Amino acid sequence: MKKSDSKPLKETPEQELKRLRKENAKLKRQLDKQKDEDKAKIKEIKKELSKERKKKDVQRVKLSEEQWKSLSSLLPDIDTLFR
């Protein structure tokens, strides 16, 4: 059997740098596209969740400062839970 005389093509450092920059730019475009798609998906999911929340809308009770003070004296953790 005879060995082929093909020599692997060696890139000069400048050619390699140019190739790598081109690859990097391509990957950045792909990443930006993916980020935009993900943002759109997140926005759509948030919209769906807000619709669901509105369907299950529960009226909230608004308390005055006096009521909060009296509740917090009875239940010290209420401020951290509900405010």
pLDDT digits (tens, 9 = 90+) for 45-74: 999 988 887 777 667 778 888 888 888 888
pTM comes to 0.47
Per-residue tokens: 32: 């930006």
Q: Residue 32: what pLDDT? A: 96
Write down the H helix ranges in the chain. 13-55, 65-74, 78-82
Q: Please give the Cα distance from 63 to 69 (Å, whole number).
A: 10
Per-residue tokens: 28: 């950045």
Answer yes or no: is pLDDT of 83 > 60: no
Contact predicate 78/72, CB 8 Å? yes
